[in-house]
Structure 1
Amino acid sequence: TNAGIDNVQIFLDYKEGNFMNNITYSTGDNSHPQHVVVTDFNKDNQLDIAVVNSYNSILKVFLSSGNETFSASSEYITGYSAFPNSVAVGDFNKDGWIDVVVANSGTDNIGIFLGFDYPTFTTSNIVLQKRDSSPYYIAIGDFNNDSRWDIAIACRERNNIAVFLGNGNGTFSEEQLFYLPGSSRPQSLIIGDFN
């Protein structure tokens, strides 16, 4: 994502690490795109793109045409002055459709978009316990080995990681907070089994 020039830039990989000329897609005037993910939203076995725009608080989806091109498909409001910074995808209610979660730094919440027969989503929010948390980066994983997707959020202004355990039906448990030392201001996080 190129926040300064309001677009998504794609480099197609060819053999031996060579890339063809880049392809760009506009995210809208004064949109300030922050983060991008790829997944198959419409079950056509092609990778699609979802991007969150901070300045206009929009989640924008580009569907793959299957021939190395994409079309702007749908836009979803993440909230008034939500200023989303990060997006992640998974199947949180186990219905076989891709769901989306967004870290809304301006409104201190997580935007949840439960997919059902794309482009339809039902939306809800999880409000963080601490005001002015500035949820900055979101990641998903199965933290308690129950085969359900859970959410972790890096909260920049409160120097903590907020964790929400998934219930498997699109809802989540109460927030658990893990504090970081001093003025850490976490900007991102990654999940893996390191031990």
Structure 2
Amino acid sequence: MHVAVGDINNDNKVDIVVANTGANNIGVFMEIGDRTLNSMKPYTTGNQSLPIYVVLANFNHDPYLDVAFANTGADTVGIFFGYDNGNFRNVSTYSIKSGSQAYRLAIGDFNNDNFVDTIVAIYASHMVAF
């Protein structure tokens, strides 16, 4: 399980996102005040996807954080795009080489185009994909 923290719903409180590998979902916990979290809201990542790593960033330049995740079982990287009040749209997935096992993600503006880029660490070949 991997955890990312950020203000997903723009309420100036820290929210938590977890990669639930065994459950094939991303879990979102919203802070509701006094450092109390609501119940986990799951977002499915697909059958046997095995999400292993999550990061938060604004990939589409709207007012909301998005969740990117590495699916080690499905050889994909997915993004849930955030919208109003901490909800997410259906997942967009991007394939990587079959059998490569996406393992970790790093984000940044690596090519200076003012858009968030993602680097994927690939477990099987000890390589990275950009």
Deviation string, structure 1 residues 46-94 (Cα, Å, up to 9, x no partner): 0100001111111001111220211124210011101111001111110
Equivalent residue number for residue 139 of structure 1: 106
Runs of 4+, deviation exceeding 6 Å: none
Paired with 1:69 and 1:40, the residues of 2 have a C-alpha distance of 14
* Residue matched to 2:59: 92
User: Which has more radius of gyration?
Assistant: 1
Instruction: Using the TM superposition, name which of 92-101 and 66-75 deviates more.
Output: 66-75
Residue in structure 1 matched with residue 95 of structure 2 by the alignment: 127
Once residues 22 and 29 of structure 2 are traced to their aligned partners in structure 1, the CA distance between those partners, rounded to angstroms, is 19
> What code does the residue aligned with 1:156 have?
Y
Q: Matches of 1:139 and 1:51 in 2, distance apart?
A: 16
Provide Cα deviations, 1:86-115, integer angstroms capped at 9, x if missing partner.
Answer: 001111110111111110000000111111
> Which amino acid is 2:99 matched to?
D
Other-structure match for 1:74: 41
* 1:122 aligned counterpart, secondary structure: coil
Higher RCO (CA-CA < 8 Å; seq separation 6+):
2
Corresponding residue number in structure 2 for 1:169: none
Root-mean-square deviation (CA, aligned residues, Å) is 1.0
Q: Which residue of 2 aligns with 1:21?
A: none
**Equivalent pairs: percent with the same residue?**
38
Residue in structure 2 matched with residue 57 of structure 1 by the alignment: 24
Is 1:151 matched with 2:80? no
Counterpart residue identity of residue 125, structure 1: T
How far has the Cα of 1:159 moved from its partner?
A: 1.7
Contact 1:115 1:122 in 2 (8 A): no
Contact 1:38 1:49 in 2 (8 A): yes
Query: 8 Å contact 1:99–1:115 — kept in the other structure?
Result: yes
Q: Using the alignment, how far apart are the partners of 2:99 and 2:60 within structure 1? A: 29
Tell me how far 1:122 sits from its aligned partner: 3.1
More strand as a share of residues: 2
TM-score by length of 2: 0.95
Gaps of 5+ in 1: 1-33, 164-195
Give the 3-state SS of the residue equivalent to 2:19 in structure 1.
strand
TM-score of the aligned structures, taking structure 1 as reference length: 0.64
Matched residue count: 129
| Aligned residue runs from structure 1 range 153-192, under 5 A | 153-163=120-130
